[in-house]
Amino acid sequence: MGVALGLLAGIMYGASDFIGGLASRKSSTFAVVVISQLVGFVALIALMPVLPKATPVRADLVWGLLAGLGGGAGILFLYQGLAVGRMSVVSPLTAVVAALIPLAVGLLLGERPSAIALTGVGIALVSVVLVSTGHVQPDTAAGTANALANPRSQGANSVGGHRLLLQPGLTEALLAGVAIGAFYVCLARSHPHAGLWPLACARVASTLSLSAIALGTRRSLVPFRGSLTTIAFAGLVDMSANAFYLIATRHALLSIVAVLASLYPASTVLLARVVLRERLTPLQVVGVVCALVAVALIAGGA
């Protein structure tokens, strides 16, 4: 049950990231994140009456709030990275970092990964370097979007395309990975008797904190005309993925479920290749493959 739900969460996370990334190329990232989070929260509250009875305690709700702060920051950085960078690069890099965080926490809690999992960790570090240093050659879809979202990105790529972290979206991907990893850990610390209430608290924390940041920095929360449906759909898919992940952690170890959920780049990359026809240089292809192999090894070895 835990493995199946973890894999399903990963598939839906990837679909949600792809949809949210497309929406972020038209509307403000804050608008996409806040509205999608709010839609997911409303959908969850609407389902609460038909879900099994839950009895959360204060600790469960606190862990949910902490998870929401990490998840809100993670999705913000991720959507920004997907908006200015290549989905097939940003998504795997984020996944590798997000998988390493729960693995480290598992080690501190006494879990002992196998040699296969440790091999995956080494490959993950190599993939970060390969994905970050490959030179970007703009293609018809991603190149145009990058130029519109970040006019300085073309100059940076032409001068230092092989320098670490100079490519658009990579810094955001690393920050997103750390924040999402914290989300995985905090949400999994809640108890089974809490039901999905920790997830509801997480959405309250993420929505309020991101809304406050948007208002404080005078960022628009008004979506681009015609993109509201796409944003709402991304929110529903993301909430479903979160629910599958939370339930999965109650049937399997955190170090297993979290890395299974981090396999989401597979669906994101597939959608990016089919819909956007993104192209990668050979070095970046190797980096992406290493990232996916690393997450698979960590999941299998854990």
DSSP state of 135: P
Q: What is the pLDDT of residues 63-110, one digit of tens each?
A: 999 999 998 888 888 878 877 887 667 878 888 888 889 888 877 887
Provide the domain limits for residue 185: 2-49+78-301
Nearest-angstrom CA–CA distance, 46 and 44: 5
Query: How does residue 159 score in pLDDT terms, banded at 50, 70 and 90?
Result: very low
Q: Is 63 part of any domain? A: no
Nearest-angstrom CA–CA distance, 245 and 198: 12
Mean local confidence (pLDDT), 122-150: 52
Structural domain tally of the chain?
Answer: 1
Q: Is 68 part of any domain? A: no
What is the DSSP code string of 107-140?
A: HHTT----HHHHHHHHHHHHHHHHHHHSPP---T
| HSE toward the beta carbon, residue 256, CA cutoff 13 A | 18
Q: Is 196 part of any domain? A: yes
**CA-closest candidate to residue 134, choices 294, 290, 291, 286:** 286
Nearest-angstrom CA–CA distance, 169 and 82: 7
Nearest-angstrom CA–CA distance, 98 and 102: 7
Nearest-angstrom CA–CA distance, 234 and 238: 6
Q: Is 59 part of any domain? A: no
**pLDDT for 39 beyond 60:** yes
Q: Is 72 part of any domain? A: no
Cα three-residue angle 267-199-28, rounded to 5 degrees: 60
- State residue 200's pLDDT score: 94
What is the DSSP code string of 204-272?
A: HHHHHHHHHHHHHTT---PPPTT-HHHHHHHHHHHHHHHHHHHHHHTTS-HHHHHHHHTTTHHHHHHHI
Q: Is 64 part of any domain? A: no
- State residue 154's pLDDT score: 39
Q: Are 210 and 76 in contact (CB under 8 A)?
A: yes
- The owner of tokens 């395309």 is 161
- State residue 1's pLDDT score: 75
CA distances (Å), 238 to each of 207, 248, 252, in order?
Answer: 14, 15, 21
Q: Is 73 part of any domain? A: no
Q: Is 131 part of any domain? A: yes
Q: Is 206 exposed, middle or buried (0-12, 13-18, 19+ CB in 10 A)?
A: buried
Higher pLDDT, 151 or 11: 11
pTM score of the predicted model: 0.77
DSSP E strands, 137-227? none
Query: What average pLDDT does the structure give for the chain?
Result: 80
The token pair at 260 is 């299974």
Higher pLDDT, 178 or 28: 178
**CA-closest candidate to residue 179, choices 149, 200, 210, 150:** 210
Q: Is residue 110 left, alpha or beta, with left meaning phi > 0 and alpha meaning psi from -120 to 50?
A: left
Q: Torsion angle of alpha carbons 121, 122, 124, 129, nearest 10°? A: 150
**CA-closest candidate to residue 15, choices 238, 224, 198, 275:** 238
**CA-closest candidate to residue 239, choices 87, 45, 7, 74:** 45
